[in-house]
Amino acid sequence: MANLSDNAIKVLEKRYLLKDDEGKVIETPLDMFERVANHLVKAEDYYQTPKKHKEKIRDAFLEVMTNLEYLPNSPTFTGAGTRVGQLSACFVLPIEDDMESILKTQMQMGMVHKSGGGTGFSFSRLRPANDYVRSTGGVSCGPLGFMQMYNDTTEQIKQGGTRRGANM
């Protein structure tokens, strides 16, 4: 395995190595790479890849990671082989111009952030501020009001419990 700097070890311990319920690190960097390689090779089950070939794929993943030639995204390190299992970094969520859709997307955003992912949105379908809302007889706050609402929610939920959520 390639040598890791003291700073790299500190970052791994703070963000990526598994911890027990009391926050104590319970795996080494090599353990982490093995956990990730074992999880990634499970995709081969879908293709009914023979066990011997799966072992070669797993070993190839492990080799490029331990040589620091390939490192997957952060959610793969934090999610592979865990209960969360989240490997994706970014999700684009749809928003329609009705309150149910706006609130449903806000809830989905919170769940994505909880599992370690970031989110992207297009607020272009929402009517402008002060446009008439037929269902209530009032006026819309417009996209900016809902952007602020999403931002406020994001402030309260840490991505994967480790960092502030990210929106685009």
What's 25's DSSP letter?
A: B
pLDDT for 159 = 73
Section 2-25 average pLDDT: 97
Is 4 within 8 Å of 10 (Cβ atoms)? Answer: no
Question: Could you give all domains of the chain from N- to C-terminal order, each with its CATH number?
Answer: 6-79 (no CATH), 90-164 (3.30.1620.10)
What b/e string do you get for 119-156 counting C-beta neighbours within 10 Å, with b at 16 or more? bebeeeebeeeeeeeeeeeeebbebeebeeebeebbee
Share of the chain above pLDDT 70, in %: 99
- Give residue-wise pLDDT tens across range 138-155: 999 999 999 999 999 998
pLDDT for 116 = 82
pLDDT for 36 = 98
- Give residue-wise pLDDT tens across range 31-84: 999 999 999 999 999 999 999 999 999 999 999 999 999 999 998 999 999 998
Section 110-116 average pLDDT: 89
The span from the first CA to the last CA of the chain, in angstroms, equals 36
pLDDT for 109 = 96
Closest of 73, 79, 65, 63 to residue 18, by C-alpha = 79
